[in-house]
Structure 1
Amino acid sequence: MKPQIQTAYKKKENMLNRDENVISRVSISGRLLTDEQINLIGVKHNEFLLQAVKGVNWSSNDVNNDFNIFFNNLATSENINLAFEGEPKNYQDNFDIVKSHLEENNSVNYFESVDSFFSNDLEGKSVKQITLFLTSLKEEFAENTNSVRDYEAFLVYTSILKHSAVFWLPTDLGGEGHFDMYKAARTPGWKKCLTDVLESDGMSGTAGFIIGAGIAAAATGPVAPITFVAEIALGAGASSAWTWYRSINC
């Protein structure tokens, strides 16, 4: 039986103003990216996502081809070493990649707790509530793991989720309202649609990080953090845009 993760996202609101560096057994030594760089992944994710939502011809007879042309051109213009072909991997495919690379068995439970949180009545969850929950869970993860890599992967996951929530959620829930801007109407399934979108791009970015971390560990030369950040952000942004277009709930 999986251990239960006891986390309440309804913590005091001043948690939002706390320093998110958790002093625990997970030291910053051995990290590939700083907290600032991980936050930048979320920022760049939203920048790339906005370009895609506006720039891809979503009414094309061959959206997948236009989508890949757009993102390959964007990767070239940003000097990002990514090639887009076919359809982006879905949430489960990326989650399988993440699970297969985690160092500690219990680490997967924290990712699954996020899935449960988003699957349960997203309609009533604001950006603030989402941030509180993810911050609380991140702190709990830090206190209970000895794996720097697993924890760092979770930091990437939560950074993308928080920024994606800001991008997509309605303004009455603290977001920028892009879902409402680019859909003709808020359909009955909008809650499930955004759950699909947020989880898809978060897990895509995490898979990109965890694969890249393995490559970096085997490399003989230094890792270029800014390049690494941009690759993760672009891959996640592409996954978010594609799920927004492709999910049956959207």
Structure 2
Amino acid sequence: MNDLHLANKNGAAFWRALGPARGYELIERPGFLAALDPIRNGLRVVLTSDQPPAADLAELTDLLTSRAWPRVTIEDPYGVVSPPLTPARWPVMIRPAAPLPEPTVDVVHVRTEEQLAAVDKVVVEGFPLPHFQPYGSAAAVPPALLSSPGFDAYLIAVDGQWAAAGATITQDDVAGVYFVTTRPEFRGHGLARQLMYAVLRELDPLPVTLTAAAPAQHLYQSLGFTTIAESTWWSS
């Protein structure tokens, strides 16, 4: 399995865990995984094959057009679809296992629902995620994830306030990093780097994948991640 397939496999695993935890309907076919939420998150699709069956593409088109979704996001790392949506390209990155320094701040490995609620608040306000605001209207990182196999989350506090957070999914021979963010008032102090030090040391010796937003690409490159592909994210 090449690195892109490995990364994409983990992306599907992430939504396989997150979707049901949020109460979404999942549809999984050989060519795609879709999470359906008609109220808030809309239609979220991960293309999982570079040669999806024609029947899967037809079903995906039907999903896209059969409802008035509040949002649509289709992750296509293989360049196999061209829906009537707005494209953006994001680098898919991977890092082989390699030594890293210990973090110089306390990074909390989340164990309780209260801690996971803090992760949720940091993610909703830090990314930000407007469709989950105001905070508390629904959980972007819901408590059910604590019992999801392979899921872990992490927090950093500054002066008694939760300031940075991130999550990981581990499946088989690869791990993926998601939701790494710092609340705006705590940015510029290297908290994301310290969080990643702890996360990557925890995941060692697995290769680790992620999809990087533009502001974080330099950080991830400095941590040993390299770009293996650009995924097209189609969105409404």
TM-score under structure 2 length normalisation: 0.27
Q: Which has the higher contact order (CA 8 A, sep 6+)?
A: 1
Greater helix share, 1 or 2?
1
TM-score w.r.t. length of structure 1 = 0.26
